[in-house]
A and B are shown apart, each in its own frame.
Chain A
Amino acid sequence: MSVTEPNAEHAGPAPTPHVSERGRVWAALRRNKPALAGLFILAVLVVAGALGPLLAPYGINEVDADHLFQGPSRDHPFGTDDAGRDVFSRVLVAARVSLLVGLVSVGIALLVGVTIGLVAGYYRGVVDNVLMRCMDVLFAFPVLLLAVAIVAVLGRGLVTAMVAIGVVYTPIFARVTRASVLSVREQVFVTAAVSTGASDWRIMRRHVLPNIAAPLIVQTSLSLAFAILSEAALSFLGLGIQPPQPSWGRMLYDGRGYVQDAWWMGLFPGLAIFLVVLAFNIVGDALRDVLDPRQLTKDEARRTA
């Protein structure tokens, strides 16, 4: 077994050309037409959220008593409501609230849920049991019921709505994270990191978290859809954004009484909710196919059914 040592694999097999993961994901998404449409809708949502008030042709509370219940026209593409306000402007401006509630509440759920799931999955045993049983308790309540209960305790308003929705979606992130951590934790590279003397915190942050990013990205995208839907539902029930601030859910509620005479009051905010939720779902599904075909989170579907 004595072979002179070629002092290197300098001339080793040619490495596969460098294709970054990001590049691969992009290429796959570009081939997926529905995902592209979804991304386009989300781009519109982001622009509306950022620049809504600047783009809106009318003020959100610009009452025009001479033009109540106007159907869609060139002046008012989405018509006017019972106070003569421009529905298009209100839908546009309300995008910011929806986006904000979605991002903040999912941000809360992500931060808290991932932390809990990471600790539970990494340490297992008693820690795992205690944390996950707490999550199960939260999980046992229907989404809206729990959110309504939280709003009832904390009082209505934008911040409460965000906190309530965040709490409601925390267990889903905790579960997805824990399941992924349990499998990553068994990988040899984690043992290898332990063998170098790395601390638990370092291993979780540097080795475990990046390796469970794929299912979390997918979950985030899907949860954004449901968070926006939940906000609309809360506002519809009068527990979310308070008038006269426009929100899609509230506008839907207001339009409810005029479905026969002024269908546009309810149709356009409803359509906005529908499109945004659909877009997040399509993009989330596409990301799931691209990033991790095995990871199917049934939790979300079961939860909101």
Chain B
Amino acid sequence: MTTTGSTESTATDVVARVTDLRVHFPVGRGSVVHAVDGVSLDVRRGETLGLVGESGSGKSTTGLALLRLVHVTSGTVEVAGQDVTTWSRRQVKPLRRRVAMVFQDPSASLDPRLTIGASIAEPLAVHGLRGSKAERRERVGELLDLVGLRPDMADRHPHEMSGGQRQRVGIARALAGEPDLLVLDEPIASLDLSVQAQIMNLLRRLQEELGLTYLFISHDLAAVEHMSDRVAVMYLGRIVETGTPEQIYRNPAHPYTAALLSAVPTADPARERERRRITLHGDIPSPVDPPSGCRFRTRCPAARPDCAEKDPDLYQVEEGHRAACLYKVEAVREMRAGADRATG
């Protein structure tokens, strides 16, 4: 598979590059889950790359691979130009300072026994960043202030805080080691709607102030559009389409993306009346035994016999916009027509 948009980017402005990544988990009796099965992507300095897909599409596993938190079956993971795929445990430690992670559910990702100050100070202690306790405490205060919490909250325990406050703590912890890249694994999925907006705005502000790079993993199409400079859509362990939010949301070139977007209601009543919903049948197939050829063919309204034979590469739709479909835009056009007939 081709590296997404690698033609335009040079090595220096790529913070992380994943090439033909495969992560397979054995699940007993000889079965193997193909969680990630040939993913290539670049994360460029200062950008937000949105990774969107259903649960089970392998988006979180891809994020975990960037910190070497899962065993990489094949392919390479490069961070800051260095191939970290086979690094030893000792070498991986500084990697986990360069790349930090924010988890989905902050009430699960913070140790209930530790004060939030101690949780935030963990990366400092692990990497020996601020020697003395007083220095660390001061830095924790700065970090709390940075994420919009009062420094005197450092002595609280997670259960004494609201969900939004806890996620701010999770972000402060991720920032403690001054990372280049933040892997945001569904950072807003477990929060209330109003708090989601606050956390997204906080993330954007931090990105501006600190020059951070984000890999924003989410199943929320609207949130990904709002946050991202570029978007990659995943399905069953593969990237099926990638491009700018504009390209993908206005002009989806993969049947899966088109179907996903057609399910999102729009706020504008006039456009909502125009909306034609493409219905997908069945569930996402088991990653233990993914379909031959194109992985999406079992649910694709425009699938043809060929699709079971050939595994489509990403082709270029336009500059920076790629999709993996044998029949290119034709398939989407055909689906649209079908949907129109069905509802109109």
- Interface residues of chain A, those whose CB is within 8 Å of chain B, are 1-10, 12-13, 15-16, 18, 187-189, 191-199, 202, 206-207, 210-211
Residues of B within 8 A of A191 (CB): 69, 103, 109
- Residues of B near A189 (CB, < 8 A) are 108-112
Query: Which B residues lie within 8 Å of A9 (CB)?
Result: 148-149, 162, 164-165, 168, 198
Q: List 24 A-B contacts (CB under 8 A).
A: A1-B197, A2-B197, A3-B197, A5-B205, A9-B162, A9-B164, A9-B165, A9-B168, A10-B149, A12-B161, A12-B164, A15-B161, A16-B160, A188-B103, A192-B103, A192-B170, A192-B173, A193-B122, A195-B67, A196-B123, A196-B176, A197-B123, A206-B114, A211-B113
**Residue of B108, B150, B162 touching A13 (CB-CB under 8 A):** B162
Complex Cα gap A158–B223 (Å): 69
Check: B181 CB closer than 8 A to any chain A CB: no
Give chain A nearest CB distance to B94 CB in angstroms. 7
Partner of A8, one of B96, B103, B148, B160: B148
A13 to chain B, nearest CB (A): 5
Tell me if B69 and A7 are in contact (CB < 8 A).
no
CA distance A3 to B198 in the complex (A): 7
- For A211, the chain B residues whose CB sits under 8 A away are 111-113
> Which of A5, A193, A195, A198 meets B198, CB within 8 Å?
A5
Contacts of B150 in A (CB 8 A): 8, 10
Chain B residue contacts of A193, Cβ below 8 A: 111, 122
The reply to whether B202 and A5 contact each other, CB–CB distance below 8 Å, is yes
Beta-carbon nearest neighbor of B101 in chain A: A195
B204 nearest in chain A by CB position: A5
- Chain A residues lying within 8 Å of B173, measured Cβ to Cβ, are 192, 196
Q: How many residues belonging to B are interface residues under a CB distance threshold of 8 Å?
A: 48
Q: Are A188 and B198 in contact (CB under 8 A)?
A: no
Shortest C-beta distance, B126 to chain A (Å), equals 5
Q: Does B200 contact A (CB under 8 A)?
A: yes
Query: Nearest chain-B residue to A192 (Cβ)?
Result: B109
In the complex, A250 Cα to B88 Cα: how many Å? 59
Q: How far is the CB of B144 from the nearest CB of chain A, in Å?
A: 10
B108: chain A residues at CB < 8 Å are 187-189
Q: Which of B101, B160, B226 has a CB less than 8 Å from the CB of A192?
A: B101
Q: How far apart are B169's CB and chain A's nearest CB, in angstroms? A: 11
On chain A, the residues within 8 Å of B148 by CB distance are 5, 7-10
Residue of B at shortest CB range from A16?
Answer: B160
Please measure, in the bound complex, the distance between the C-alpha atom of A163 and the C-alpha atom of B320, giving whole angstroms. 71
Q: Is the CB of A197 within 8 A of B226?
A: no
Given A1-B226, A189-B111, A194 contacting B127 (CB threshold 8 A): no
A3-B198, A188-B105 as given contacts; A197 in contact with B112, CB under 8 Å: no
CA A195 – CA B181 in complex, angstroms?
13
Q: Once the chains bind, are A15 and B160 in contact (CB under 8 Å)?
A: yes
Determine which of A2, A10, A197 lies in contact with B97 in the assembled complex, contact meaning CB atoms within 8 Å. A197
| Contacts A3-B197, A197-B96; A192 near B110 (Cβ below 8 A) | yes
At the interface, yes or no: B92 with Cβ under 8 Å from chain A?
A: yes
Residues of A within 8 A of B160 (CB): 15-16, 18
Contacts of A4 in B (CB 8 A): 201
Given known contacts A195-B100, A198-B122, what 18 new A-B pairs fall within 8 Å (CB)? A1-B197, A1-B200, A2-B226, A6-B198, A8-B149, A9-B148, A9-B149, A10-B148, A16-B159, A18-B160, A187-B108, A189-B111, A191-B109, A192-B110, A197-B92, A202-B126, A210-B111, A210-B114
Q: Which residues of B contact A12 (CB under 8 A)?
A: 161-162, 164-165
List A contacts of B69 (CB < 8 A): 191, 194-195
Tell whether A3 pairs with B201 under 8 Å between CB atoms, given A9-B148, A189-B108, A211-B112. Answer: yes
Within 8 A of A (CB), among B195-222: 197-198, 200-202, 205, 222
Q: Which residues of B contact A7 (CB under 8 A)?
A: 148
CB distance from A206 to the nearest CB of B (A): 8
- CA separation between A16 and B168, bound complex, in Å? 18
Contacts of A210 on B, CB cut-off 8 Å? Answer: 111, 113-114
Please, which residue of chain B has its CB at the minimum distance from the CB of A197? B96
Q: Does B156 lie at the interface of the complex (its beta carbon under 8 Å from any beta carbon of A)? A: yes
- A195, B223: Cα distance in complex, Å: 25
A196 contacts B103, C-beta separation under 8 Å? no
Task: Check if B93 is an interface residue, CB within 8 A of chain A.
Answer: yes
Judged by a CB distance under 8 angstroms, whether B194 is at the interface is yes
Say whether A197 contacts B93, CB under 8 Å.
Answer: yes
* 8 A Cβ contacts from B60-104 to A: 67, 69, 92-97, 100-101, 103
List the A side residues contacting B94 at CB < 8 Å.
197
Chain B residues with CB under 8 Å of A16's CB are 159-160
Q: Which residue of A lies closest to B95 (CB)?
A: A197
Does B177 belong to the interface (CB within 8 Å)?
A: yes
Report the nearest A residue to B225, measured CB to CB: A1
